[in-house]
Amino acid sequence: MTSPASPSRYPFLHDPTLTRISLYPGDHVVVSDSNSLLTTVLGSCIAVCLFDPQRRVCGMNHFMLSEASHRDDRLLHSEAGRYGVYAMELLINGRFAKERTGSSSHRHVK
């Protein structure tokens, strides 16, 4: 039996040519480098992955709750990424928009 992260089971995790980017609750990242590997570990959290195959741009966020229990615009500059409402805004209209040059119809979401 192989271990969960053995090289034979997931060879890309042990590929020295890849830059591994690990996301934690509240994080989001967008990359256009094909040598990047985005990873996260989920328990009760949620992660959303966006990919535009035409432009070869991908992004991921990792958030804990759908929304904050109170509305506070200061969250946008602090722990906003921990809440889905803000995390999606940061990913799509923030980081992903800077890489966006064409139509959003080419994006894949998981």
DSSP the chain: ---TT-TTT-GGGG-TTSEEEEE-TT-EEEE--TTEEEEE--SS-EEEEEEETTTTEEEEEEESBSS-SS--GGGGGTTGGGBHHHHHHIIIIIIHHHH--S-GGG-EE-
Domain that holds residue 105: 18-109
User: What is residue 10's predicted lDDT score, i.e. its pLDDT?
Assistant: 74
pLDDT, one tens digit per residue, over 6-37 is: 666 777 777 888 899 999 988 889 898 888 99
- The CATH number of whichever domain residue 55 belongs to comes to 3.30.1330.200
Residue 67 covered by a domain: yes
pLDDT at 13: 75
Query: Alpha-carbon distance 6 to 19, whole Å?
Result: 18
How many structural domains compose the chain? Answer: 1
pLDDT tens profile 61-95: 988 876 655 555 554 455 666 777 788 888 887 66
pLDDT for the residue numbered 86: 80
Asked if 90 contacts 61 with a C-beta cutoff of 8 angstroms, the reply is: yes
Residue type, 54: Q
